[in-house]
Structure 1
């Protein structure tokens, strides 16, 4: 029988501090800030949206603190997989990692739909060749081709090694930051505070419901810092520094989203926001009164697609690789390229699933975001519980990045993660739709099948032997 351990190659430590920061921050800013900022402001009001992102950001920071301590204590590929295995055991570890893989795949698939969508802003008539209609939206051949082409390009970049992917990540993230600074500066000098009205949306559902609707977006938009622990065996930093860089990336992302919402609400009034399909580029164009400014922001959005796409190819493929290496997924997914040291089959799987997404058209954008968001917060909950368990059961475990008041922070992370998960359940103002539950259920059933297959093929003893050797 072929076992995952038969692959003798190891991942190589090549990622420096700047690479890691660009990887996580670039993953978190992505494309969502371009397409969802206007929706957030309309749902909760300008201040309501900022407040929602700050509340959600604080929750993510609490979870991030648990990640930072665990990542520095156990710098092994797979991140959540390793922490939950040590604290909770075999099955919870699989459930946790399978949930975060859904989150990563949702981002990768989201970008495959986002790219052809944003190209429409630059070339409005490029989508031709009717294929079919989904949820009232026409899927067209050239539109699908752009999404599939982008997916294949990102797959190829990641196939040729993490060093190449990290270099691209740094360059493109720097471009996004420059455009963002230009946008916020322009808004502070040229924007109008009257445009920020209403500060809180007064709809029939009330102020709180509007803020909750924006809070549901937060886990999806902030996912990305957890790419750092996924790639831990490729990071060439002192273990304590891994935790510091992780927390820095989360704080920078909170500040980024708050400033983008502020700048957009200063630039466009509520009527202009309602008429805008891409609020941030339209806000940029309004501030500078020039089409080039709007197009520049669209290009920054495309750059965000690249950084997020790239980071989650890295994170998702490493999570799949980690499960396979532990005998929880079929052995071929534990294969590393002999030269580039990349998990090639895991990358191919990510690429295949990403290529499928555009065939479902733009309605898939919202379905994928929400279903993946639930997977993300479930993984966060598992990690927070693992953090608390290890603090109690193994108080003397070496922790290079040991946070103060750990039990309190861990308990808060558990409560906040559980609270975020409840936002997706029936009865919540932002409960998942039938299509979104179908995506989540389908992914869960696939996981059950693969888990049973792995147990029958390798057995739990193999996983225990492999994981204990690493830990």
Structure 2
């Protein structure tokens, strides 16, 4: 039994050409795809909570610290994607560098990341929409707005938005990207409106003390706001639909990460500058701050921005989830029959529909707070292995053509592992227990089914 058999990079390229996808995404599309997957509730909610409870005004530095961990992983992803321009993200990269068993574990954890995050985001979308409708005077029955554990029957809005986006994704990637671009423009416009209203009201005295919780507060804040960056790796799943993947995917990953970090930093500084950080521990800190400085319509503005933001995050994550399922299915890790590409729409429709149904069931019936932190550990584990794998390939396969070469790889690779490992270490023990159980289930599936049905076994 060879657990470390690898797919040759040339073979991966052949898989990409036979996939049936249409290459119609530009670098600009991929940057917007990344922004769409990252800028969501984090900028409207986590900024205030992180400042009030963990880092004070220093939450702006926490965002930068969290982005550094993502940047190290992003550089590794960028080099990987320029060598291995196929769907599957870190799963495909690991298959080419560290072998099948490690690749399966990475793919298994990517499924965890995307499914849990999509479910969490769908539930968040439901909360914002219901809040907006309630504030408008509509009395809605709790039976169809809450999961059973919270006194309802089903969270119907979460199911609705997931299946609506499912239809959009099945009908075509280009159409989905167009909708994503419009919604990204709207949410950036909302952020711009907030900054225009807030900047003239900054009181620098609110930044003193800048680090009320000390340097440990910055680190704790970074572990919390890391969730705000989950999703940028979805850009890497689009490689088989990019016009020039070796060039455009690295631009999409690093460009979107840079834009999002800048926006997070500016909003955090402005928010903590207009009201004392101690007042920001609430569900709508940005709207609250606008009301404090005399703009009571702030709640409506933020609600529109948040709904658009959450919609794009869910759209892109569902897109990425389907591509990970597709890559696993194509390689025989899960039943190969489900990786069919629609003849008319050129999309992996079966895995898209199946993934969306799974997300709908979780978002509709399960209290998401029970499993939300699982998204962080699944993502960080994939980033950790990506940092190791790209360093390993640079040493063992230096002759491979790379459209993008990660600078200072002997620093970036270890730092990706160290930073992600540190953030994983700071997650709760219960999250680790659930993660280990998830991995054990995956290992059982690999030995019972995947190893025997793998294409490399034939």
Q: TM-score with structure 1 length normalisation?
A: 0.86
Could you say which residue in structure 1 is the equivalent of 2:456? 463
- Contact 1:130/1:138 (8 A) holds in 2: no
Matched, 1:279 2:285: yes
Query: For 1:224-263, what aligned pairs fall within 5 Å after superposition?
Result: 224-237=231-244, 239-263=246-270
Matched, 1:340 2:381: no
Matched, 1:182 2:189: no
**Alignment equivalent of 1:158, drawn from 169, 179, 203:** 169
Could you say which residue in structure 2 is the equivalent of 1:454? 449
Could you say which residue in structure 2 is the equivalent of 1:40? 50
Could you say which residue in structure 2 is the equivalent of 1:223? 230
Query: For 1:255-404, what aligned pairs fall within 5 Å after superposition?
Result: 255-274=262-281, 276-287=282-293, 289-291=295-297, 293-360=298-365, 364-365=368-369, 367-404=370-407
CA distance in 1, matches of 2:170, 2:245: 27
Query: For 1:25-64, what aligned pairs fall within 5 Å after superposition?
Result: 25-64=35-74
Offset of residue 373 of structure 1: 0.3
Note the residue ranges of structure 1 that are not aligned, 5 or more in a row: 425-430, 466-471
- Contact 2:111/2:321 (8 A) holds in 1: yes
Question: CA 1:127/1:451 → structure 2, altered by over 3 Å: closer, same or farther?
Answer: farther
Matched, 1:71 2:66: no
Could you say which residue in structure 2 is the equivalent of 1:440? 435
Alpha-carbon displacement from aligned partner over 1:3-61 (angstroms, at most 9, x marks no partner): xx9x9651111112221111111101122222222211112233321111111111211
Q: TM-score with structure 2 length normalisation?
A: 0.89
Note the residue ranges of structure 2 that are not aligned, 5 or more in a row: 1-14
Matched, 1:138 2:131: no
CA distance in 2, matches of 1:223, 1:161: 24
Cα RMSD of the aligned pairs, angstroms, is 2.5
**Alignment equivalent of 2:423, drawn from 397, 420, 423:** 420
> What SS does the corresponding residue of 1:337 show, helix, strand or coil?
coil
- Contact 1:197/1:269 (8 A) holds in 2: no
Could you say which residue in structure 2 is the equivalent of 1:173? 184
- Contact 2:42/2:225 (8 A) holds in 1: no
Q: How many residues align?
A: 440
Could you say which residue in structure 1 is the equivalent of 2:141? 128
- Contact 2:55/2:220 (8 A) holds in 1: no
Offset of residue 348 of structure 1: 1.6
